[in-house]
């Protein structure tokens, strides 16, 4: 054997035989870690966001859902929704001599108080969910660019003030009149669905009357929203979770505006409703129950009442302010029976206010 051959054979060799045990050790270690993670964050049915070993992102989302919005990382949909809302709210209101208010009547049939509304306007005018029906009314009213404020009413609603008073009250207000409050009872936050997480937490959940008035910017935001509307469309209904019965028309808009523009709404409705009987439906007034004293009392009321579902005497009372000035709370009232029409038409000139 030559010297060169001996030198070549004496070179240190790579111990390739150690590679396999090392790979096995690493593989076992990684699998063990993943099994520990799976044990710590187990899968709980179809609603869980964590789906076994290969879904670390799912586990991350599941943990994120438990955190409040100011701590957790916002989803892409939430970021996009906030960007749209922010840009729309930055658009200034355009009130001109031609600006109009769109009155949207959500009715089952004809208007029983048409004659009274004629007196109000002094002119002649002629299964989908409630929320979707409201949005269809809004989208049609938005087609007229001169409509700067939108009012949702029912067939049992009546006006409490003159048209001029109502026009100035709404068009020159710095907020939309949408009721939104925390009802800690079973018919309030008790209706929150876990499936609404992470975007809508129980602390976010609000309640309010469906009878709103809103500025054009807010109407556009409602039409642009798909994130929060989809949550209520999918998960707000009867019997979807345990024994809860979520009612979208009482919770969607109050919750939505509490999240996207809480300072831009009044937190009370300008439509008076009597829930004093604590029944499933509010009181309906018949002709014999209506007097000038009663109408004056309702049209001049300066404290709003929010009825909670905690108990018989659990009510929230708040003063009503218009651009920082104390003013009557209500522009409209419900529910009134059709037999009250003649009485209301006769009383109308006496209980309405001409000046804001």
Q: What is the pLDDT of residue 334?
A: 96
Report pLDDT digits (tens) over 71-130. Answer: 778 888 999 899 989 888 888 888 888 899 999 998 887 889 988 998 898 754 333 478
Say if residue 69's pLDDT is above 70.
no
Q: What percent of the chain has pLDDT over 90?
A: 54
- Residue 22's pLDDT is 52
Q: What is the pLDDT of residue 242?
A: 76
Which one, of 54, 171, 47, lies nearest residue 102 by Cα? 171
The domain locations on the chain are: 76-270
Give the model's confidence band at 48: pLDDT under 50 very low, under 70 low, under 90 confident, else very high.
very low
Report the alpha-carbon distance of residue 204 to residue 37 in Å, rounded: 30
pLDDT of residue 87: 87
Q: What is the mean pLDDT of residues 164-190?
A: 95
What's the rounded mean pLDDT across residues 327-349? 96
- Would you tell me how many other CB atoms lie within 10 Å of the CB of residue 313? 6
Average pLDDT, the chain: 82
Q: What is the mean pLDDT of residues 285-297?
A: 96
For residues 318 and 304, give the distance between their C-alpha atoms in angstroms, rounded to a whole number: 5
304 vs 316: CA distance, rounded Å: 8
Indicate the pLDDT class of residue 346, thresholds 50, 70 and 90: very high
What pLDDT score was predicted for residue 61? 55
Residue 148 has pLDDT above 50, yes or no: yes
Provide the whole-model pTM.
0.74
CA-nearest of 309, 302, 199 to 250 is 309
Tokens linked to 238: 């009867």
Would you say the C-alpha torsion 233, 238, 243, 244 has a positive or negative sign? positive
Give mean pLDDT, residues 155-166. 95
Q: What pLDDT score does 129 carry?
A: 74
Q: What is the DSSP string of 281-349?
A: S---B-GGG--HHHHHHHHT--EEEEE-SS-TT-EEEEE-EETTEE--S-SEEE-B-GGGHHHHHHHHH
Say if residue 70's pLDDT is above 80: no
Residue 238: pLDDT band by 50, 70, 90 thresholds? Answer: confident
């Amino acid at each position: 054997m030559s010297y060169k051959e001996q030198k070549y054979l004496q070179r240190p060799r790579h111990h390739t035989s150690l590679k396999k045990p090392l790979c096995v050790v690493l593989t076992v270690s990684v699998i063990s870690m993943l099994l520990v993670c799976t044990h710590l964050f187990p899968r709980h049915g179809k609603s869980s966001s964590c789906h076994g070993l290969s879904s670390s992102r799912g586990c991350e989302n599941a943990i994120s859902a438990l955190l409040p919005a100011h701590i957790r990382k916002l989803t892409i949909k939430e970021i996009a929704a906030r960007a749209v809302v922010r840009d729309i709210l930055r658009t200034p209101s355009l009130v001109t001599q031609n600006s109009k208010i769109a009155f949207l009547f959500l009715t089952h049939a004809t208007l029983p108080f048409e004659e009274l509304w004629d007196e109000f306007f002094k002119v002649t005018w002629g299964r989908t969910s409630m929320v979707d029906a409201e949005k269809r009314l809004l989208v049609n009213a938005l087609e007229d660019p001169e409509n700067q404020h939108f009012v949702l009413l029912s067939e049992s609603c009546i006006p409490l003030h003159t048209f001029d008073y109502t026009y100035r009250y709404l068009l020159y207000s710095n907020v939309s009149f949408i009721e939104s409050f925390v009802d800690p009872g079973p018919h309030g936050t008790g209706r929150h669905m876990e499936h609404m997480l992470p975007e809508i937490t129980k602390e976010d959940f609000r309640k309010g009357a469906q009878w709103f008035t809103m500025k054009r910017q807010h109407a556009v935001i409602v039409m642009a929203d798909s994130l929060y509307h989809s949550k209520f469309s999918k998960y707000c209904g009867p019997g979807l979770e345990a024994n809860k019965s979520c009612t979208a028309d009482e919770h969607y808009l109050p919750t939505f505006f509490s999240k996207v523009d809480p300072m831009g709404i009044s937190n009370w409705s300008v439509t008076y409703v009597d829930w004093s009987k604590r029944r499933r439906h509010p009181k309906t007034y018949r002709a014999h129950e209506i007097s000038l004293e009663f109408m004056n009392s309702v049209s001049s009321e300066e404290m709003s009442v929010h009825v909670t579902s905690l108990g018989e005497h659990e009510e929230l009372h708040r003063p009503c302010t218009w651009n920082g000035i104390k003013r009557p709370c209500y522009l409209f009232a419900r529910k009134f029976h059709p037999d009250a029409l003649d009485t209301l038409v006769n009383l109308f000139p006496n209980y309405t206010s001409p000046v804001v």
